[in-house]
């Protein structure tokens, strides 16, 4: 496991769903996770495993080691972001999207800077407002050539 | 294991419990049902989670400190987005007391609700006299089962639920074929609904405030209120919509007050589900698909040939707006509420540049059809890309199962 990963992605539920559907996507997620270059916020884990029978739910359950626990700071910021950007986040009761952005905002000064991996345009809009880098699944696939 | 132990590790956030209680009361959700919903939501992540009515009362007593999974579950029970839990007070709707009409926005609605209450009492008397109060059996719906992981309506579950309701009220394709016009359709559908023990009432409602209502108290027969100010086709849809509310709220001391038709704009998930079920109930996909098999995909409902639209109107006796929404949901036409595809990709919320969004935009019917056409070689990926103003790799990603 690399101590100083070159990059770090925080994945959204929709990105995990899209990537675990294909063999190369699944493998890449696992490789990145094992090298500390992929992290899944706890609320994303809850959202992804909500429906037990899906492929993404099974994958997330089998890779609990990639899950980041929610800290008090992240929870408080997620709550504040969810309330502040109410129109940009989906109307879901899940804290997944706000927690994803909150974790990236709080870890912005870390090296490497976390990049949010999400296809949700609401999340992307909040990332722009909060000055957090993001990548779509397509861009992610392009970067890694899969 | 107690709740405190289960969520000991989780960070906690301060919630205004009293305001959450006001939200719960404003949507006429009783404590038992709220507890059931919270527990069901919590158990998806923590199977041993236990919530009691006493615990809920404690949460609602004032300021409370709750864990993230508990807040998510609480928001789900109150049909609120997560962010709303930061300031639930602003989400409490002024409550209308349906017994007195107190709280209704206008005197007219106030008076009509009192009349509806009187009608419901009459219905109770009638059913007691007939000995039929306990005879009503409608399919039991659970809102959480009709929503997917993102909290949006689940098309497959909704179609199945709508078919169960059709079966119960005896609504068949042959029966719908005999509907000569909208008035006949409404009358026959009301007969079908009343045939299972539901009372259907009509009053001249102020439709700017109230489009319909339904109520099913314990010991009372279920009742639906329609507005005579609406045309027969919108009233038919409201009847199906209210019937769904009854299935979702069986035997609860609640009234569903449905404000003007803003089907696609509403964020209340029970209203969204009721609209979807009503669409599937009146326009089943199995009946619709053969009629549109040879009709090319159109950008929106209005772009379909007039003869096709008129044929559908006459066949199903629902309004054009309902047909437009239903066809978009099923992927027969594009959804005008979503932004147009961009040549460069990217863009606003719901942008077509993203494979996940494409799937939602296209809908199951168009996706299945396109996959089959590409597989048998009758349609190329390039042609689809040109039609939809997409890149070929995006089309390929969209069609990937």
Q: Is residue A37 part of a domain?
A: yes
pLDDT of residue B301 exceeding 90? no
pLDDT single digits (tens) B207-227: 666 788 888 877 788 888 888
How many CB atoms are closer than 10 A to CB A72?
11
Q: Is residue A3 part of a domain?
A: no
- CB contact (8 A) between residue A121 and residue B351: yes
Q: Choose among B188, B194, B186, B192: nearest CA to B132.
A: B194
Which residues lie below 8 Å from residue B97, measured CB to CB, with a gap of 6+? B103
Separation of alpha carbons B26 and A30, rounded Å: 46
Separation of alpha carbons A49 and A59, rounded Å: 9
H or E element in which residue B185 lies: helix B182-195
- CB contact (8 A) between residue A91 and residue B348: no
Nearest-by-Cβ selection for B348 from A49, A92, A121: A121
Q: Is residue A124 part of a domain?
A: yes
Task: Tell me how far the alpha carbon of residue B155 is from its chain's centroid.
Answer: 11
Nearest-by-Cβ selection for B11 from A22, A72, A81: A72
Greater confidence (B66 vs B7) lies with B66
pLDDT single digits (tens) A66-82: 999 999 999 999 999 99
Q: Choose among B243, B398, B261, B248: nearest CA to B319.
A: B261
Greater confidence (B400 vs B324) lies with B324
Q: Is residue A117 part of a domain?
A: yes
Give A39-89 as a 3 state SS string: EEEHHHHHHHCCCCCCHHHHHHHHCHHHEECCCHHHHHHHHHHHHHCCCCC
pLDDT of residue B107: 67
Cβ-contact A47, A96 below 8 angstroms: yes
State the smallest CA–CA distance between residue B267 and chain A in angstroms: 7
Where in the sequence is the domain holding A106, given as residue range(s)?
8-143
Q: Is residue A2 part of a domain?
A: no
Nearest-by-Cβ selection for A98 from B83, B350, B353: B83
Separation of alpha carbons A96 and B219, rounded Å: 42
Cβ-contact B169, B193 below 8 angstroms: yes
pLDDT of residue B266 exceeding 60? no
Q: Is residue A131 part of a domain?
A: yes
Residue of B nearest to A119 (CA): B354
Cβ-contact B385, A6 below 8 angstroms: no
Mean pLDDT along residues B70-89: 88
A112 prior amide bond cis, ω within 30: yes
Residue ranges of chain B whose CB lies within 8 Å of a chain A CB: 9-13, 41, 44-45, 68-69, 71-73, 75-76, 80-87, 148-152, 267, 269, 347-351, 353-357, 394, 397, 400
Q: Choose among B335, B387, B397: nearest CA to B362.
A: B335
Q: Report the residue of B13, B16, B68 to disrupt the A interface, i.e. the one with the largest count of A CBs within 10 Å.
A: B68
For chain A, what percent of residues have pLDDT higher than 70? 94
Separation of alpha carbons B343 and B341, rounded Å: 7
pTM exceeds cut of 0.80: no
- CB contact (8 A) between residue B349 and residue A121: yes
B-chain residues within 8 Å CB-CB of A78? 68
pLDDT single digits (tens) B368-399: 667 777 887 777 777 777 666 567 777 777 77
B-chain residues within 8 Å CB-CB of A85? 83
Q: Please tell me whether residue A10 adopts helix, strand or coil conformation.
A: strand
Mean pLDDT along residues B153-177: 90
Mean pLDDT along residues B319-323: 82
- CB contact (8 A) between residue A83 and residue B267: no
- CB contact (8 A) between residue B11 and residue A92: no
Task: Tell me how far the alpha carbon of residue B173 is from its chain's centroid.
Answer: 23
Separation of alpha carbons B126 and B133, rounded Å: 9
Greater confidence (B259 vs B1) lies with B259
pLDDT of residue A109: 87
Total number of residues shown for chain B: 401
- CB contact (8 A) between residue B269 and residue A122: no
pLDDT of residue B340 exceeding 50? no
pLDDT single digits (tens) B82-122: 988 988 887 766 556 655 666 666 666 777 777 787 788 77
B-chain residues within 8 Å CB-CB of A76? 11, 13
Nearest-by-Cβ selection for A94 from B9, B82, B349: B82
Widest Cα–Cα separation across chain B: 68
B-chain residues within 8 Å CB-CB of A95? 68, 71-72, 82
Q: Choose among B241, B252, B230, B210: nearest CA to B111.
A: B210
| Confidence label for B8 from pLDDT (cuts 50, 70 and 90) | low
State the smallest CA–CA distance between residue A33 and chain B in angstroms: 22
Phi/psi-derived region of residue A69, left when phi > 0, alpha when psi is between -120 and 50, beta in every other case: beta
State the smallest CA–CA distance between residue B3 and chain A in angstroms: 17
**Number of C-alpha atoms within 13 angstroms, CB side, residue B11?**
16
Phi/psi-derived region of residue B96, left when phi > 0, alpha when psi is between -120 and 50, beta in every other case: beta
The torsion angle over the Cα atoms of residues A133, A135, A139 and A142, rounded to 10 degrees, is 80
Range of lowest pLDDT (A75-89, B6-20, B241-255): B241-255
What is the domain count for chain A? 1
Residue of B nearest to A68 (CA): B10
| Confidence label for B261 from pLDDT (cuts 50, 70 and 90) | very low
Separation of alpha carbons A94 and A101, rounded Å: 13
For chain B, what percent of residues have pLDDT higher than 90? 15
Nearest-by-Cβ selection for A92 from B82, B87, B353: B82
H or E element in which residue B223 lies: strand B223-227
CATH code for position A137 = 3.40.50.1010
- CB contact (8 A) between residue B149 and residue A75: no
State the smallest CA–CA distance between residue A113 and chain B in angstroms: 23
Greater confidence (B148 vs B198) lies with B198
| Backbone Cα Rg of chain B | 23
Q: Is residue A16 part of a domain?
A: yes
pLDDT of residue A117: 96
Q: Report the residue of B82, B86, B342, B344 to disrupt the A interface, i.e. the one with the largest count of A CBs within 10 Å.
A: B82
Q: Is residue A1 part of a domain?
A: no
Give B56-98 as a 3 state SS string: HHHHHCCEEEEEHHHHHHHHHHCCCCHHHHHCHHHHCCCCCCC
pLDDT single digits (tens) A38-71: 999 999 999 998 866 788 999 999 999 999 999 9
């Amino acid at each position: 496991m690399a101590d100083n990963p070159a990059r770090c992605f925080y994945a959204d539920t929709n990105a995990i769903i899209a990537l675990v559907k294909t063999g190369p996507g699944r493998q890449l997620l696992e490789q990145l996770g094992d090298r500390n270059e992929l992290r899944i916020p706890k609320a994303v884990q809850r959202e992804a495993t909500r429906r037990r029978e899906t492929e993404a739910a099974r994958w997330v359950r089998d890779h609990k080691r990639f899950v980041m626990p929610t800290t008090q700071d992240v929870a408080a910021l997620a709550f504040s972001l969810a309330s502040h950007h109410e129109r940009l986040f989906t109307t879901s009761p899940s804290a997944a999207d706000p927690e994803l952005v909150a974790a990236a905002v709080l870890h912005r000064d870390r090296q490497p800077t976390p990049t949010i991996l999400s296809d949700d345009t609401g999340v992307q809009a909040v990332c722009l407002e909060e000055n957090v880098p993001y990548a779509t699944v397509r861009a992610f696939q392009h970067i890694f050539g899969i | 294991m107690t709740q405190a132990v289960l969520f000991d590790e989780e960070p906690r956030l301060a919630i205004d419990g009293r305001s959450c209680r006001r939200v719960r009361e404003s949507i006429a959700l009783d404590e038992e049902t709220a507890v059931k919903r919270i527990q069901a939501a919590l158990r998806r992540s923590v199977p041993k989670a236990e919530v009691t009515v006493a615990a809920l009362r404690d949460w609602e007593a004032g300021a409370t400190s709750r864990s993230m999974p508990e807040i998510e579950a609480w928001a789900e029970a109150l049909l609120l987005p997560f962010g709303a839990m930061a300031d639930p007070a602003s989400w409490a709707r002024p409550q209308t007391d349906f017994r007195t009409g107190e709280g209704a926005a206008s005197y007219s609605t106030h008076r009509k609700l009192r009349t509806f209450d009187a009608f419901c009492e009459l219905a109770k008397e009638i059913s007691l006299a007939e000995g039929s109060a306990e005879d009503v059996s409608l399919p039991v719906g659970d809102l959480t089962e009709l929503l997917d992981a993102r909290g949006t309506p689940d098309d497959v579950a909704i179609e199945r639920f709508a078919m169960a309701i059709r079966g119960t009220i005896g609504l068949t394709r042959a029966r719908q074929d005999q509907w000569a016009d909208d008035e006949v359709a409404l009358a026959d559908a009301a007969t079908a609904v009343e045939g299972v023990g539901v009372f259907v009432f009509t009053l001249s409602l102020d439709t700017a405030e109230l489009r319909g209502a339904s109520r099913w108290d314990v010991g009372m027969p279920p009742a639906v209120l329609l507005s005579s100010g609406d045309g027969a086709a919108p009233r038919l849809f409201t009847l199906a919509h209210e019937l769904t509310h009854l299935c979702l709220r069986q035997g609860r001391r609640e009234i569903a007050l449905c404000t003007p038709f803003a089907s696609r704009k509403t964020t209340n998930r029970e209203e969204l589900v009721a609209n979807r079920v009503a669409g599937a109930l009146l326009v089943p996909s199995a009946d619709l698909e053969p009629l549109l098999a040879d009709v090319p995909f159109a950008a929106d409902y209005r772009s379909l040939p007039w003869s096709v639209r008129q044929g559908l109107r006459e066949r199903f006796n629902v309004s054009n707006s309902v047909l437009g929404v239903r066809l978009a949901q099923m992927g027969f036409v594009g959804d005008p509420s979503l932004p147009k595809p961009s040549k460069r990709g990217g863009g606003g919320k719901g942008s077509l540049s993203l494979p996940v969004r494409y799937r939602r935009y296209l809908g199951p019917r168009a996706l299945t059809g396109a996959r089959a056409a590409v597989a048998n070689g009758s349609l190329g990926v390039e042609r689809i890309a040109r039609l939809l103003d997409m890149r070929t790799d995006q089309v390929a990603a969209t069609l990937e199962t």
